[in-house]
Amino acid sequence: MRNFAYAKASNSTEAIRLLGHSGAAKFLGGGTNLVDLMRENIEQPESLVDITSLLREIQENADGGVTIGAAARNSAVAAHRTIRERFPVLSQAILFGGSGQVRNMATIGGNLMQRTRCDYFYDAASRCNKRTPGAGCDAIDGFNRMHAILGWSPDCIATHPSDMCVALAALDASVEVEGRDGKRSIRFTEFHRLPGNTPHVETDLRPGELITSVTIPKLDAARRSVYRKVRDRSSYAFALVSVAAVLEVENGVVKTARLALGGVAHKPWRAGPAEEALQGSPANEASFGRAADTALAGAKGFAHNEFKIELAKRLIASTLADLARKDGAR
Amino acid sequence: MKQTLTLTINGKSYSDEVEPRLLLIHYLREVAGLTGPHIGCETSICGACTVMLDGMAVKSCTMFAVQAEGRSVLTIEGLAQNGKLDPLQEAFWNEHALQCGFCTPGMIMTARQLLADNPSPSEQEIRHGLEGNLCRCTGYQHIVNAVKAVAKAGGA
Amino acid sequence: MSIMQTLVQTAARFKPDADPDPLIASKKYVGRALDRVDGRLKVTGGARFTAEYAPDDMVYAAPVFSTIAKGKVRRLDTAAAESSPGVIAVITPKNMPRLVTPSLTDFAKLDKIAASNLPVLQDDSVHWNGQVIAVVIAETHEQAQEAAARVRADYDADEGMVSFERNKDKAIMPKDVLGEPPEIKIGDAEKNLKSAPVQVDATYRSPYYNHSAIEPHATIAYWEGDDRLYVFDSTQWVEGYRNSLAHVFALNRENIRVMAPFVGGGFGGKAGFWWNTILCAAAAKMVGRPVKLALSREGVFRIVGGRTVAEQRVALGATREGKLTALIHTGLTVTPDHARYAEQCTFPTRHLYATEALHVAQYVVNLDMVANTWMRAPGESIGTFAVESALDELAVELRMDPIELRRKVEPARDPTKDTEFSSRNLIEAYERGAAEFNWSSRNLQPRSRRDGAWLVGHGVATAYYPALRFPGGARVRLEADGTAIVQAAANEMGMGVATGQLQHAADRLGLPLHCVEFDYGDSHLPTSPMAGGSCQTLSILAATRATVEKLHRELLKLEQKDSASPLKGAKYEDLVARDNGLFLASEPSRGVSYVEILRKAGKPYLEVEGVSSAPMEMMKYSMASYGAQFCEVRVNETTGEVRVARWLGSFDCGTVLNPKTAMSQLRGGIVMGIGMALTEEMLVDGRSGRIMNRSLAGYHVPVNLDVPRIDVLFNDIPDPQTALGAHGIGEIGITGVAAAIANAVYNATGKRVRDLPITLDKLL
């Protein structure tokens, strides 16, 4: 790892100023992914601006939603009473990610900014368009079990590794950012990008912009929400497929549905068409199966991950069925 | 490109000139001379480097020493008081929760946090709570038994 | 077989048996569940592993790895690295000290033990993807890492052979498999198979595996002058490393000292002699300062090999009653030409079951890969997966309980060695296990039990591993105050060797435990075999037994000088050691304490060194440990996820020295078997030969939640042919595990998975 300069910012204005214009500086949250990327020489910043002293409060908003400071620790968010009561899917998703020690360090902003765990991305000897634009992709014909089945491009089939972000995508969250030109809000589902022919551009952040917080709007239905994750061991592994789901059923008919998938695409995959298909449908197996088919319409796998299509369908259908049963019991 | 780092380790204060890139684990081992926190993977997976930072278990291989500026670090060396082992240390020894012992210091530190958060965990909660600490020797069961024994006796 | 070998074997067969070890009957500490002696150091962080030593003036080494599998380094640009801050030297083939090429393990001589016989950084050739092509030495770890990343290599790449799938047709039969014939035929197995009323014929596959000991390989080396070398190393065999270093650096063995007081797990990965140790010693020589070379986790994956990929065919012909008429087991594994290690996957089949006709054969394909090596129960782990899965398939065909089938095929004599078994109680292990596990409640019909979304199944398989012993030495020093120190070069990677050997030494000497010390982990101590192949415990027991006998004979000689001695005129055979001294067996009140003997002789201490005999018993008998692995698995019908819900291992492995350490060893083996069955797989890219998942994030060893409660039973029947009746137990735990899981998965789902690991996609 190359050496670098380190400074700690005490507020967002200072952080943005310390970052400067050169593009050679980076913000440092918990560092749980950035330190690895630097150790692998994938990231080689000349300076780091530590932003962990910035906003870390978890604030209940007047409308019933919450705003989470970007520097809030993952473990603090998962354990927060309001989050657990109003948005259990978020708390669960966080607890399905990493390990206790990592969640104690990792920040919410950092979680959004983590990069793919594609083995070819990490291996300097392999071709990767994300690491070296235009170099080619060795994952397409390589080991691609952990790779995308939706929204990929011939340039990149990597997946976004976060669990938390899948829940945030389902919850219609927004990302509050601040830059030299002021503040703006980015819809969560538009924050991460699909790879297209620029897989190295992973988010909608502009140079110099800082994530200050994440806002989740009020969604009563989310009190009945769940995160399910299927992986290659019982715990402590990235998702093969995960599902964040919210389901509200009234008189046997789906009133509200939110559905997002993890482990399947370059970004947390919000399954909008499936939600539309569910809306107003009877809350039964047939509807859930149709929703699953809709969510995976257009999915295409590779040599080692074709199975994810069927797995995702089954997981969606069974997750919705479980939620419907829970709802019915109320 | 060095800067001054001041922190507390096991109740003792340290101040050294360090490069920002120096990882906390290397600071603890190479500068402070500790032998308990181990390096097993250097990628925040195995947990052998686990220490407590202001009371929270963290992986010292995946943070820079400068991130611990002004903070308090507790390592396995800081658990025993005047030669008397901490209950978790006693239990790990009694229950044979170790073989090679390489993962043990990190495992004990994580177990300490687990019991602080949940003083009477179920077996499943223990197994889940220790997910970030890999052991390749013992078969895990004795580790679970040790944590249970401490919980039963009233905590760490 | 040579004429000499034939003569020795014949002699061994007619050699009368020694009486069983009398200590089997009179043991006091042996068999007790004592706490491990190194526990306090390990729970306080005080146990120093290799990387925790810090000689003055130490510098740091960082290797640079090749990115092609085969060819030459055309140009190595080290300028940027050399001018990088803190860099002391960049070692390349140009300035690397000229070294003797390492020699592969020779089991006949038990001497040098290199895993690969390639010259080490002596030329520009590349033989595997990840080979070291340069080493940077710098003042700090960070500086060395930074500079290593600045070394640039251009290659002339050849088309290497790296894909197992594409090169299977180039398989050859090796000259031998660990000194045994690669092929054995008894009768015409293929003919018998064709005419058998019931047949099973299937192919079983297992991937590359990695040991993934939690301690990465580390070395610290320094020189005194030009010809004295000191090495701390995370090795499983201090003496083998010393001998190999002496060979490579052309030094006298006495001039090298290798120390490994604590090793953070090995599992076979630290037994072969690898490049990191050689490079560290060479670097220390070049820079004239102590050097630390602690491999990164990636470094371990790159330059230390693991278990080979394997494809095995097992074919069984049987009568309707379950008697085997044909047993065929052929195995294809990978080994590079520079390692020549054909993993002995057919070995269990050579000794396990009675059959009319048998055919075992092994083949290898030579790929351009990092040297493959021993990994926990090399051979038997993957071999039992194949043969024990096939036996289960036969039981299904026969509609017979699989334990009943094991009864039908239990042999009276070793089927290929044609000798008696020294101690074989496999069926007893099955029966004890079956009762404890409640096996009788298992459904013969697959897919007939469920619990919500989970299908529940039960499986069983045989565990098997030979009981090996090698000659070795020990030193015992009895002090005037009646305490004793026992010394052997021995390695402690966590198995509990120090604790078990102390228990034995105390009993053998008739001393209280606290009066005995055990010194180990240093090549300056009397010779011990490697801590591998489950041979160390048994070998040191025998060496200590021989040495204590020598001590007692000398003490008796001293005592004879005293005409008033209660032992006057006694013979060694008349004595027992107990209560801090020697006593007549026939007259328990007549005896004399060690303190008294030494006092009268005017000696401040008595020190003797002894060696154990050649292991003739291994030739005369078929000697092995056995076991029955029982498990319950749950398979999620929606997702295909497999969870092991319950485990019971019932073992026949001789006298148990210490149930606490022994059960832990077996549980650890079983967990590694669960990983082998369900989660572990090293991904070698068939285009580049590069290991892609070279971290513990990508290589999935089992986590705590993957593991259920594991119960362990012991027959605890002593083997009359060994010291204390004991066997080594490091390997047997992993054997049979993958088959038991595959068999249980079949029982749960009706789906037979013959391709490890059993990941969920195979069950969707």
Q: What is the tens place of the pLDDT at every residue in B126-151?
A: 999 999 999 999 999 999 999 999 99
Q: Which of C257, C126, C240 is nearest to C524 (CA)?
A: C257
Strand partners, A289: none
Which among A2, A104, A236 is the nearest to B58, CB-wise? A104
Collect all residues with Cβ–Cβ distance below 8 Å to A108 and sequence separation of at least 6. Answer: A68, A69, A70, A71, A72, A74, A77, A164, A214
User: From CA C655, how far away is CA B119, in angstroms rounded?
Assistant: 40
Q: Each residue of C482-495: pLDDT tens digit?
A: 999 999 999 999 99
CA of C627, closest CA in chain A: separation in Å?
Answer: 27
A75 and B56 within 8 Å at the Cβ level: the answer is yes
Which chain A residues are within 8 Å of B66, Cβ to Cβ? 6, 50
Looking at the domain assignment, is residue C699 inside a domain? yes
SS3 of A164, please?
Answer: helix
Distance in Å, alpha carbon of A217 to nearest chain B alpha carbon: 29
Are residues B57 and B117 both part of a single domain? no
- pLDDT at A248 > cutoff 90: yes
What is the greatest pairwise CA distance in chain B?
50
Q: What is the SS3 assignment for A29?
A: coil
Are residues B110 and A235, on separate chains, in Cβ contact within 8 Å?
A: no
pLDDT, mean of residues A66-70: 98
A101 to B132: CB separation less than 8 angstroms, yes or no:
yes
What is the CA A58 to chain-centroid distance, rounded?
Answer: 19
Q: How far apart are CA C502 and CA C658, in angstroms?
A: 11
Q: Is B43 on the interface with A (CB under 8 A)?
A: yes
Query: Phi and psi dihedrals of B60, rounded to 5?
Result: -75, -5
Which residues of B are less than 8 Å from C296 in CB distance?
42
Give the minimum alpha-carbon distance from C293 to chain B in angstroms, rounded to a whole number. Answer: 13
Q: How many domains does chain C have?
A: 3
Cβ–Cβ gap B35/C43 under 8 Å: no
pTM tops 0.90, yes or no: yes
Least Cα separation, residue B70 to chain A (angstroms) = 12
Pair C653, C759 in one domain: yes
**Contact between C747 and C47 (Cβ < 8 Å):** no
Residue type present at position A28: L
Contact residues on chain B for A31, CB-CB shorter than 8 A = 62-64, 67
Residues C236 and C113 in one domain: yes
Q: Which of C263, C285, C303 is the last residue of a domain?
A: C303
Q: What is the pLDDT of residues C715-738, one digit of tens each?
A: 999 999 999 999 999 999 999 999
Q: Are residues C444 and C477 in the same domain?
A: no
Q: Give residue C652's pLDDT band: very low, low, confident or very high (50, 70, 90).
A: very high
- Among C41, C44, C53, C145, most B C-beta atoms within 10 A, so best to mutate, is C44
Asked whether the predicted pLDDT for residue C98 surpasses 70, the reply is yes
- How much of chain B is helix, strand and coil, in % rounded to 5? 40, 20, 45
Amino acid B1: pLDDT: 84
Give the integer Cα–Cα distance in Å for A151 and A159.
10
Q: Do C448 and C370 lie in a common domain?
A: yes
Provide the H-helix boundaries in C84-230. Answer: 141-148, 164-167, 189-195
Residues C346 and C413 in one domain: yes
Distance from CA of B109 to the nearest CA of A (A): 10
CB burial of residue C323 (10 Å; 0-12, 13-18, 19+): middle
Q: What is the pLDDT of residue B12?
A: 98
Side-chain-side CA neighbours of residue C754 (13 Å) = 18
Tens of pLDDT, residues C504-548: 999 999 999 999 999 999 999 999 999 999 999 999 999 999 999
Q: Does the distance separating the beta carbons of B45 and C695 come in below 8 Å?
A: yes
The reported pLDDT for the residue numbered C3 is 66
Question: Which of B14, B42, B77 is at the close of a domain?
Answer: B77
Q: Indicate if C292 and C435 belong to the same structural domain.
A: no
What ipTM does the predicted assembly reach? Answer: 0.98
The residue whose two tokens read 């010809």 is C227
The one-letter amino acid code at B82 reads N
Hey, what domains does chain A have and what are their CATH numbers? 5-52 (3.30.43.10), 221-329 (3.30.390.50)
CA B74 to CA B106: how far, in whole Å?
Answer: 11
Contact at 8 Å (CB) between B24 and A7? no
Spatial distance between the Cα atoms of C713 and A287, rounded to a whole number of angstroms: 51
Adjacent-strand bridge partners of C755:
C205
Which pLDDT does position B156 carry in this prediction? Answer: 60
Residue B104: inside a domain = yes
CATH of the domain at C458: 3.30.365.10
Asked about C681 being catalytic, the answer comes back as no
Which residue in the set B20, B131, B133 is minimally distant from A3, CB to CB? B20
Whole-Å CA distances, A27 to A7, A54, A176, C173 = 10, 11, 16, 58
**Domain end: C303, C338, C364, which one?**
C303
Structure tokens at A127: 């071709």
Averaged pLDDT, C186-201: 98
Token code pair at residue B43: 């990628």
Helices (H) and strands (E) in chain A, counts: 13, 12
Measured distance CA(C605)–CA(A314) in Å, rounded: 75
| Beta carbons of C317 and C325 less than 8 angstroms apart | yes
Angle at C196 between CA C191 and CA C197, to 5 degrees: 160
Strand partners, A184: A177
Quote the pLDDT of residue C503. Answer: 97
* CB–CB contacts below 8 A, B to C: 184
Domain enclosing residue B148, as ranges: 87-152
Looking at the structure, do residues B69 and B24 belong to the same domain, yes or no?
Answer: yes
In this complex, do C678 and A123 lie within 8 Å of one another by their Cβ atoms? no
Q: Which residue of C has its CA nearest to B26?
A: C141
Q: How far lies C70's CA from each of A155, A243, C689, in Å?
A: 28, 44, 9
Residue in B82, B133, B140 to test binding to C, most C beta-carbons within 10 Å: B140
Residues of A in contact with C702 (CB under 8 A): 233
The single residue of C479, C559, C681, C731 carrying the catalytic annotation is: C731
> Does residue A330 surpass a pLDDT of 50?
no
**Is the Cβ of B75 closer than 8 Å to some Cβ of chain A?**
no
CATH number, domain of B125, equals: 1.10.150.120
Q: Say whether pLDDT at A137 is over 90.
A: yes
Cβ distance of C44 and B42 shorter than 8 Å? no
Which CATH number goes with the domain that contains B8?
Answer: 3.10.20.30
Q: Is the bond leading into C757 cis (omega within 30 degrees of zero)? A: yes
Q: Which residues of B touch C52 (CB under 8 A)?
A: 29, 35
Cα C104 versus chain centre, distance: 17
Task: Mark whether B64 and B93 lie in a shared domain.
Answer: no
Chain C residues touching residue B142 (CB < 8 angstroms): 664, 667
Q: Are residues C627 and C638 in the same domain?
A: yes
Query: Could you tell me if residue C33 is inside a domain?
Result: no
B102 with C661: Cβ contact below 8 A: no
Task: Report the Cα A249 to chain-centroid distance in Å.
Answer: 26
* Closest approach of B17 to chain A, Cα-based (Å): 13
User: Residue C62: which H helix or E strand, with range?
Assistant: strand C59-65
Residue C264 has pLDDT above 60, yes or no: yes
Please report which residue ranges of A108-266 form alpha helices under DSSP H: 108-113, 119-122, 164-170, 188-191
Q: Do residues A200 and A295 touch, judged by C-beta distance below 8 A?
A: no
**C764 vs A142: CB contact, 8 Å cut-off?**
no
**Which of A4, A75, A98 faces B21 most closely, judged by CB atoms?**
A4
What pLDDT, on the 0 to 100 scale, is given for residue C655?
Answer: 97
Q: Are residues C717 and C591 in the same domain?
A: no
Instruction: Give C 148-167 residues with CB within 8 A of chain A.
Output: 149
Query: Burial level of C96, CB count in 10 A (0-12/13-18/19+)?
Result: buried
- What confidence tens digit (pLDDT) does each residue in B53-72 have? 999 999 999 999 999 999 99
Q: What chains are in contact with A, requiring at least 3 Cβ pairs below 8 Å? A: B, C
CATH of the domain at C287: 3.90.1170.50
How far is the C-alpha of A148 from the C-alpha of C167, rounded, in Å? 30
Q: Does C672 touch chain B (CB under 8 A)?
A: yes
CB A93 within 8 A of CB A166: yes
Chains that touch C (3 or more CB pairs under 8 A): A, B
* Phi, psi (rounded to 5 degrees) for A106: -65, 140
Q: Which pLDDT score is estimated for A109?
A: 98
List beta partners, residue C76: C153
Among the ranges given (A116-120, C24-28, C110-114), the one the predictor scored with the smallest mean pLDDT: C110-114
The pLDDT mean for chain C works out to 96
Structural domain span for residue C57: 50-159+211-303
Which positions in chain C touch A233 (Cβ < 8 Å)? 678-679, 700, 702-703, 705-706
C56 and C66 together in one domain: yes
CB-CB: which of C145, C683, C764 is closest to A143?
Answer: C683
pLDDT of A329 reads 42
For C413, the 3-state DSSP assignment is coil
- Banded pLDDT at C105 (limits 50, 70, 90): confident
SS3 C304: coil
Please give the average per-residue pLDDT across A287-299, as a whole number: 98
| Percentage above 90 pLDDT, chain A | 97
The reply to whether C120 falls in a domain is yes
Q: At C191, is the secondary structure helix, strand, or coil?
A: helix
CA distance C761 to C63: 38
